[in-house]
Structure 1
Amino acid sequence: MDWHSTACVLCACNCGIEIKLDGRRFERIRGDKAHPSSQGYTCEKPLRLDHYQNARDRLTHPLRRRPDGSFEQIDWDTAIREVAGGFAGVRDAYGGETIFYYGGGGQGNHLGGSYAGAFLRSLGARYRSNALAQEKTGLFWVSDQMLGAVTTGDLDHCEVALFVGKNPWQSHGVPRARPTLREIARDPRRSLIVIDPRRTETAELADIHLAVRPGTDAWLLAAMVAVVVQEDLIAHDWLAAHAVDVDEVVAALRRIPISEYAEISGVGEELIRTAARRIATASSVALHEDLGVQMSPHSTVTSYLDLLLVSLTGNIGRLGTNNPPIPLAPLVSFSHWGPKRDRVSPVAGARIISGLVPANVIAEEVLADHPRRYRAMLVETANPVHSVADSPRMREALEALDLLVVIDVAMTETARMADYVLPAPSQFEKWEATFFNLETPDNYFHLRRPVLGPPEGSDLLPEPEIHARLCEALGVVPDLTPLREALTTGGRAAFAAAFLQTLTDPGLAKIASVLLYRTLGPTLPHGAAAAASLWPLAHRLAAAHPDAVRRAGIEGEGPELGERLFDAILARPSGVVFSRDQEGDAMGRLGTPDKKIHLAIPELLSVVGDLGNGPATDPDFPYVLSAGERRAFTANTIFRDPAWRRRDAAGTLRICPADAERLGLAAGALARVTTRTGSVEVPVEINDGLQPGHVSLPNGLGLSYPGADGAPSVTGAAPNELTAAGDRDPYAGTPWHKHVPARVEAVAR
């Protein structure tokens, strides 16, 4: 009992960890060997989680802004009544669609967000966004049209691992990242291929490092796909059985000038051909792309080329390749093959992908003189002032709102601008979970128990309770006695029948999660009321994939299987494997009507053959700045205390030796980095892993945090003081944080 099972909340892997307490302090942290995915592995970053748990800027009571801009403490009854009334007032005056929601959970706290929809639907709110709209929506859009599903690379069983714009040694994002990379690198039968401008830690291990010129990934990948076609290395028999539009795509790719595209990319043609041949002749290839390309020019086109590469070589739907996972709670919604089509935002007309408005248009949607502009925002467990492009513009937009309410753990940059701040427990003080469950062939879910209670003297409410109270304040929650009686007298079987009958009322269907929280929730063991929203998800998954659930060791038939899966989730503090794939199952999970890969996306295929002569350059801003590099001591910004960083405390500007010498910059000297949006002064780190003309700043810095004397100070550069909202992908609206035109100068002492 000295060690408490929980999980790291710093990246999408959410590795299992165990924490030993000394009072409220995290005395020791270690990997949880019982965790079904991480199996005891953890990197160095979660070992510092006490800096999150016991940070000085923790919120302890609900706050309301005074007319002079300061905050006053209020009680929860007042906060709930006024917040609900404020949103209802905006709805009544301008319509529910003018209420905007941002967030819903960071890397590890999605459970609370599963209740937010009840409050928003009750108000008639239609628009939302979160961090995925800054990263993954281009990939989502391409995957929807080609596959009707997203895929995950099976690194444990692949012969070739291909990383595009990804450095898992530091960013992780894949299970047991460092041991997995070492295993692949050391096995002479396997290969590691990395596409990245920088010689990263992952690239150092690679058999083939394609050091692409910054911003030219699309040219490089188009050349690689063209090699596969023009050397006739495509998987003809497999494609005949599993894909359509093959002839159309092959004809387009035959016209690509490989030598010309190779020259633009900065990678030798022969090395490109070697990499393409290795991929095409391997028994299995697992592809992972990440922010290095998803936040760069041509990001959606690059995602399309990635999927073409693995599709044309037959690396989808098999062991060791890219497979559609079986998620417990799907984070991605698809519309291309269903009755719904992509919507657009009301002011900018930006494409809404997977229900998400591009984050780069939020300020425009607020500040425009338009009858449907966003007038109120609910921000939950997110910090868009710091995380969304063009922070000055975002601050201007939030100031223009009629109402801004923030639910969070700490007094963030966004919370400081709010009309009301509603404090929630930390991720280790409540029941929590992540919905980033995208593994194959085994998939798992980890419902995390509280490690400790809220701080003494605080008045916090978990997010499910906040949303339930807001719904009740709106008057949309009915008398729940019949549902409670059905559960008490007939158990969950009778409750299920009564609950389904209740949902025939469209108004009550909107608040289904709150109804579960108030009825089923209190009956769950150990105070796990927040887990009530998982009950229908367990039943839906068991009904859709019963064989996969039973292969994972959960027994039962029909509704009994769903109940036993839900009970297993509740009972296992280190997580449970809930599905296990069988060879051949994955292709059946494609969302296309014919369960085949649709290779042609005409508007992207035409671009692939005519990419131009390379990214545009500006002599006034001759450098390419990667704003937000992940390093050994950077993580997501729940780490607000700068003392957590053991190295690179100030967040250095990395620059190659040749550029440093030309600019007269020595290690540790100050450099001024200027973009079209802003300017910062930062110390220099000379790093020979970068190409000339390419510089980088880390993510996670530039946060205001109180010192020991309570006075706030800012450490390092906030990347989005330098980025521009208009620099975004034309298809998905994702930002170009990894390709910011910049000027670098020495600062005279």
Structure 2
Amino acid sequence: MAETSTVCPYCGVGCGLRVEPGDGRAAVTPDVAHPANRGRVCSKGAALGETLGEADRLLRPEIGGTPVSWEAALGEVAGRLRSVIETHGPQAVAFYVSGQLLTEDYYVANKLMKGFIGAANIDTNSRLCMSSAVAAYKRTLGEDAVPCSYEDLEQADLLVFVGSNAAWTHPVLYQRVAAEKRRRPELRVVVVDPRRTPTCDIADLHLALRPGSDAWLFDGLLSFLAREDGLNRAFLDAHTQGLDDALAAARAAAPSIPAVAAACELPAAQVAEFFRLFLHTEKTVTLWSQGLNQSSSGVDKGVALINCHLATGRIGRPGMGPFSLTGQPNAMGGREVGGLANQLAAHMDIEDADARDRLARFWGVPAVAATPGFKAVDLFEAVADGRIKAVWIMATNPVVSLPDGERVRAALAACEHVIVSDCVRGSDTVACADVLLPAATWGEKDGTVTNSERRISRMRAFLPPPGEARPDWWIVTEVARRLGHGDAFTFRSPADIFREHAALSGFENGGARLFDIGALADLDDAAYDALAPVQWPVTPATPSGTTRLFADGCFATADGRALLLPVAPRPPAVPAGDEYPLVLNTGRIRDQWHTMTRTARTPRLTTHMPEPFVQIHPLDADLWHLAEGGLARLSSPHGGMLARVKLDAAQRPGSVFVPMHWSETYARDARANVLTAAVTDPVSGQPEFKHAPVRVEPFRPDWTGFLLSRSPLEIALGDYRVHIPSRGFHRYELAGEEEPEDWGRWVQAHLLGPGEWMEYADPAAGRYRCARLRDGRLELVFFVAPGNLPERSWLGQMFAEDYLDDVARMSLLAGRPSTGMQVAGRPVCSCFGVGFNTLVEAIDEQGLTSVEAIGEALRAGTNCGSCIPELREILAQAQHSA
């Protein structure tokens, strides 16, 4: 097949990729022509070719665990939905969808639910990451319209990252900023985050504020700007309203720099420095993400931030604006088609009678849903208490990603009808389904996505779907036809859907709604296939798209004026206390994505941070008797988990950080969101993932161990159990409070296989080691000890050997590498597979003194750059030791 241009399926940067399919794999390279990434790609995107294949794919429809035909499965789904609607009404049905869907998938699901089933109970996992930003934009600017472009980051003189670890979550965009910082050292970068994250690597100022105190900071900035004559009075008078009320609230909450410093628990000098930088730097872009959004007051925090840009007129012009960084590849595309339960398609409001009438006439139905549906957390509450009788989940894993995860699992277990469309067979949510529908995934699907800067790009298929997998739009369309709505669902291709979507955006618009791609409504199939990346609006007046919004000072409100709104800051909904004294913050790590259903398929991404961990400040670790590398049990009123302890002075005392990625597919008892409460913002419905009171205690197992095996194994051993797919073998980290009476007998009962066995046992010391070889190749190695287990990397390297000699075999049982063996150590650079030991040796032997020198010698850090902060730390440690 020819090389294909497509888009990465991970974060909201929306990187363009070039893919050349091969035999069961694909060579993936960055697209130098795509304006979002300009020829760069992160470690996850670079490894996409390694995630393809049929392993763990859902390949046939299933009902009750039994494979069936598509005809039977589609008839079953339609019959179940029809029965519930006829018996309980349309409000008893819900769809829960995903930012992993393409816009065309989203469009038909929303059309079916709101237009033809007649309820608004369709919500998306984007509710969990972007809905507070959506509400903040709508309340202040009149529409969910990100005003900025990536170009603005390179034209700004001050960049403020708020609650965003962009170095890991939006790495390609961050590297554009880092490159601009190298080119223009006068560019100032401020990071507002309780943790010192890798994003701080290029920061001139880091504000490690008290978790949840962002609104006090931005209220304080607004009142400071007023005191220092920093308001743009001409812009305010001509283009806004509400300044007096907003300013009164800001002055009441944060009247002075000392008051802000006290509320945020920051040094007053740091607050003053930030305020002065903002005051004196007109070209300012403020970027925010989940640290601000995932809060019980996330909308207010976003409004307080936007207020500061409106008050200074820093919006709609190059190098300035409030810029929400989207979390998923198509979170914005879902918002465009009404994927949120409180929206209609094409940015129309569900509570607007004229909009409902317009949409009903366009779709040819008597009426569309007239009231907002259940938002994500409320939706699963309604499943739990029986108000929703049938739920259809598409391309997402809510048992892992939603707060109070055990309650979500219990809700699905009790639900009468659980339908799941997904591409994978083994996820926590798939295990709850009555009906499974095999969906096509990246590389097999055609359609469009919209990135953080409103840029629509084509995602193109380059592989046929395996087995009987089908695109999501096709599945929904076929169900709609079986429900009797075939005349409205005549789509034969994604191009058909896109044309209707584009036509709706321009239907009776006349400039009333900023989201308008009506100029694309007449694309034929060839033009759709060749569609180049373009930023909306795309109208007859702007056929090439629009770089930034509000350049004319006219906003999407009824009178064209933006609104400054009063913000009265409030603390997180559930404070820490005596029983749960620490504050839990959850988030992403560098090489993993969501619940690991794709990224865990490639060892390149599983080995940088291979286990679930809790990051804690050394002072807190001493207080709670935790040790580096030990295990800890985290508890909250909602559940508990086990994690490896990481001591890090970059973590704010009193707070801990846990990644949100692990599910029971890869780790027992390691779901972070069983700890978080189902507390949400009252406006957006977004959960408070960044502030959950927890207790952290040492978990002291009677035994610890690990098992490396060439083949995957089903292991039911230990309280702590993590599966780490690795290059050429599978790694299992294990620990437990109870151990078998005889390890040798346990191995014979559970691991016995053909080949040559070697064994060492010291029961008095609690040590056991064994290995199995077949035709001289290592097949399995198992180590148990009370502590001080050997490093895994050198044992892993032995799986690449065709034959182990006597020296290598002795090293297995001795538990240490043989003399002269080159041990790469834990991975640091995922792009080029450079390990810690290799780095330290090169720094020492070659006298490397800079990250650039490391890159020249080993290539580490020269691709996506997301390992550069860690390279800098290793370099500093080596120089300190020297």
1:61 aligned partner: 60
| 8 A contact 2:154–2:180 mirrored in 1 | no
- Counterpart of 1:535 in 2: which secondary structure? helix
Matched, 1:645 2:603: no
Give the CA deviation at 1:186: 5.0
Matched, 1:81 2:75: yes
* C-alpha distance 612-393 of structure 1, shift in aligned 2 (>3 A): closer
2:138 to 131, 139, 144: 144
- Counterpart of 1:18 in 2: which secondary structure? strand
| 8 A contact 1:144–1:334 mirrored in 2 | no
1:36 aligned partner: 35
Distance in 2 (CA, whole Å) between partners of 1:613 and 1:125 is 32
2:255 aligned partner: 257
2:94 aligned partner: 100
Give the CA deviation at 1:421: 0.6
1:292 aligned partner: 291
User: Could you report, residue by residue, the CA deviation over 1:152-183 in whole angstroms, capped at 9, with x for unpaired residues?
Assistant: 4432322221111011111118x633122331
| 8 A contact 1:337–1:592 mirrored in 2 | no
1:448 aligned partner: 459
Distance in 2 (CA, whole Å) between partners of 1:143 and 1:641 is 35
Matched, 1:594 2:609: no
Distance in 1 (CA, whole Å) between partners of 2:508 and 2:137 is 21
* C-alpha distance 433-392 of structure 1, shift in aligned 2 (>3 A): same
2:434 to 416, 419, 422: 419
Q: Which amino acid counterpart does residue 395 of structure 1 have in structure 2?
A: R
Q: Which amino acid counterpart does residue 564 of structure 2 have in structure 1?
A: L
Q: Which amino acid counterpart does residue 142 of structure 2 have in structure 1?
A: G
Matched, 1:631 2:590: yes
* C-alpha distance 223-205 of structure 1, shift in aligned 2 (>3 A): same
Q: Which amino acid counterpart does residue 440 of structure 2 have in structure 1?
A: P
1:489 aligned partner: none
2:485 aligned partner: 476
Distance in 2 (CA, whole Å) between partners of 1:722 and 1:252 is 34
TM-score normalised per structure 1: 0.80
Distance in 2 (CA, whole Å) between partners of 1:613 and 1:647 is 33
1:113 to 97, 106, 114: 106
Distance in 1 (CA, whole Å) between partners of 2:498 and 2:316 is 28
Q: Which amino acid counterpart does residue 700 of structure 1 have in structure 2?
A: H
1:433 aligned partner: 448
Distance in 2 (CA, whole Å) between partners of 1:181 and 1:590 is 32
Give the CA deviation at 1:101: 0.9
Give the CA deviation at 1:660: 2.3
Q: Which amino acid counterpart does residue 109 of structure 2 have in structure 1?
A: A
User: Could you tell which deviates more after superposition, 1-10 or 331-340?
Assistant: 331-340
User: Could you report, residue by residue, the CA deviation over 1:694-721 in whole angstroms, capped at 9, with x for unpaired residues?
Assistant: 11111221241xxxxxxxx536721112
Distance in 1 (CA, whole Å) between partners of 2:73 and 2:519 is 42
User: Could you report, residue by residue, the CA deviation over 1:372-404 in whole angstroms, capped at 9, with x for unpaired residues?
Assistant: x21111111111111111111111211222211
Paired residue total: 652
Distance in 2 (CA, whole Å) between partners of 1:366 and 1:469 is 25
| 8 A contact 1:60–1:423 mirrored in 2 | yes
Distance in 1 (CA, whole Å) between partners of 2:528 and 2:67 is 38
Matched, 1:165 2:163: yes
* C-alpha distance 444-613 of structure 1, shift in aligned 2 (>3 A): closer
Q: Which amino acid counterpart does residue 570 of structure 1 have in structure 2?
A: D
2:671 to 718, 729, 738: 718
| 8 A contact 2:161–2:190 mirrored in 1 | yes
| 8 A contact 1:195–1:210 mirrored in 2 | yes
Give the CA deviation at 1:210: 1.1
2:302 aligned partner: 303
2:119 aligned partner: 125
Distance in 1 (CA, whole Å) between partners of 2:370 and 2:530 is 36
1:212 aligned partner: 209
Distance in 1 (CA, whole Å) between partners of 2:82 and 2:351 is 35
User: Could you report, residue by residue, the CA deviation over 1:174-215 in whole angstroms, capped at 9, with x for unpaired residues?
Assistant: x63312233136523422111101111112211221111222
1:618 aligned partner: 577
| 8 A contact 2:287–2:323 mirrored in 1 | no
2:424 aligned partner: 410
User: Could you report, residue by residue, the CA deviation over 1:410-435 in whole angstroms, capped at 9, with x for unpaired residues?
Assistant: 12221211111111112211213213
1:679 aligned partner: 640
Equivalent residues in 2 for 1:381-396, closer than 5 Å: 381-396=395-410
* C-alpha distance 118-341 of structure 1, shift in aligned 2 (>3 A): closer
Distance in 2 (CA, whole Å) between partners of 1:251 and 1:463 is 50
Q: Which amino acid counterpart does residue 110 of structure 1 have in structure 2?
A: T
| 8 A contact 2:194–2:651 mirrored in 1 | yes
1:239 aligned partner: 236
Q: Which amino acid counterpart does residue 393 of structure 2 have in structure 1?
A: V
Higher relative contact order (CA 8 A, sep 6+): 1
* C-alpha distance 215-672 of structure 1, shift in aligned 2 (>3 A): same
Q: Which has the larger radius of gyration?
A: 2
Matched, 1:367 2:384: yes
* C-alpha distance 539-230 of structure 1, shift in aligned 2 (>3 A): same
User: Could you tell which deviates more after superposition, 86-95 or 178-187?
Assistant: 178-187
Equivalent residues in 2 for 1:514-525, closer than 5 Å: 514-515=489-490, 517=491, 521=492
Distance in 2 (CA, whole Å) between partners of 1:23 and 1:724 is 46
Identity within the alignment, %: 26
* C-alpha distance 385-477 of structure 1, shift in aligned 2 (>3 A): same
TM-score normalised per structure 2: 0.69
Please report the RMSD computed on the Cα atoms of aligned residues, expressed in angstroms. 3.2
Matched, 1:203 2:167: no
1:735 aligned partner: 687
Equivalent residues in 2 for 1:447-466, closer than 5 Å: 447-455=458-466, 458-466=467-475
Distance in 2 (CA, whole Å) between partners of 1:382 and 1:177 is 27
- Counterpart of 1:434 in 2: which secondary structure? strand
User: Could you report, residue by residue, the CA deviation over 1:523-562 in whole angstroms, capped at 9, with x for unpaired residues?
Assistant: xxxxxx2221111344566789999xxxxxx9xxxx9875
1:378 aligned partner: 392
Distance in 1 (CA, whole Å) between partners of 2:409 and 2:571 is 36
| 8 A contact 1:324–1:586 mirrored in 2 | no
Distance in 2 (CA, whole Å) between partners of 1:335 and 1:622 is 42
Matched, 1:18 2:18: yes
Distance in 2 (CA, whole Å) between partners of 1:143 and 1:677 is 33
Give the CA deviation at 1:735: 1.2
| 8 A contact 2:307–2:565 mirrored in 1 | no
Distance in 2 (CA, whole Å) between partners of 1:475 and 1:338 is 28
2:336 aligned partner: 330
Distance in 2 (CA, whole Å) between partners of 1:560 and 1:236 is 37
Distance in 1 (CA, whole Å) between partners of 2:323 and 2:193 is 25
| 8 A contact 1:135–1:734 mirrored in 2 | yes
User: Could you report, residue by residue, the CA deviation over 1:624-663 in whole angstroms, capped at 9, with x for unpaired residues?
Assistant: 1112333344455442636441211112211122222333
Equivalent residues in 2 for 1:665-704, closer than 5 Å: 665-704=626-665
2:46 aligned partner: 47
| 8 A contact 1:224–1:273 mirrored in 2 | no
User: Could you tell which deviates more after superposition, 42-51 or 206-215?
Assistant: 42-51
Distance in 2 (CA, whole Å) between partners of 1:693 and 1:353 is 46
* C-alpha distance 340-265 of structure 1, shift in aligned 2 (>3 A): farther
- Counterpart of 1:476 in 2: which secondary structure? helix
* C-alpha distance 318-665 of structure 1, shift in aligned 2 (>3 A): same
- Counterpart of 1:671 in 2: which secondary structure? strand
2:853 aligned partner: none
1:397 to 404, 411, 421: 411
* C-alpha distance 466-314 of structure 1, shift in aligned 2 (>3 A): same
Q: Which amino acid counterpart does residue 606 of structure 2 have in structure 1?
A: R
2:530 aligned partner: 571
2:738 aligned partner: none
2:855 aligned partner: none
| 8 A contact 2:592–2:600 mirrored in 1 | no
